[in-house]
Amino acid sequence: MAIAEVLVVDDDYGHLEIFSELLTRLGHSGTVAASAFLGLRLLESRRFDLVFADVVMPVMDGVEFARRANRIRPDLPIVFVTGYPRQATEMLGNGTLTLLKPLSGRTLENVIQERVR
């Protein structure tokens, strides 16, 4: 598989660091954004193959981020991540791929292989 360009949007710096490290270990290129607004700015200026977005963030949550991101790049796959099991279940019920934190490297790689074409 080719190197995937992945954007990770999360307000938790610890989670961003873990994502970045996992993506590097898996041989992918990871760019992190500590807010939804920064994530949108990056989408306007760079090409990404996939986005992982936290659901619960201040000011603009992951769902609103995804709506706005889809206006910029309608073809871009967005995967939600959350630390709240109930929220993950609710979003899965809406047909949205939502992963529960913490993620393993294997889960991350499987999602990248499945979503990046």
Residue 91 belongs to domain with CATH number:
3.40.50.2300
94: containing domain: 5-115
pTM beyond 0.75: yes
Average pLDDT, the chain: 90
Predicted confidence (pLDDT) per residue in 2-28, tens digit = 799 999 999 999 999 999 999 999 999
The total of structural domains in the chain comes to 1
Residue 93: predicted pLDDT: 57
- pLDDT (average), residues 30-36: 97
Is the bond into 102 cis (omega within 30 degrees of 0)?
yes
pLDDT (0 to 100) of residue 19: 93
> Is the C-alpha dihedral spanning 62, 68, 71, 73 positive or negative?
negative
The pLDDT tens digits for 68-86 are 999 999 999 999 998 876 7
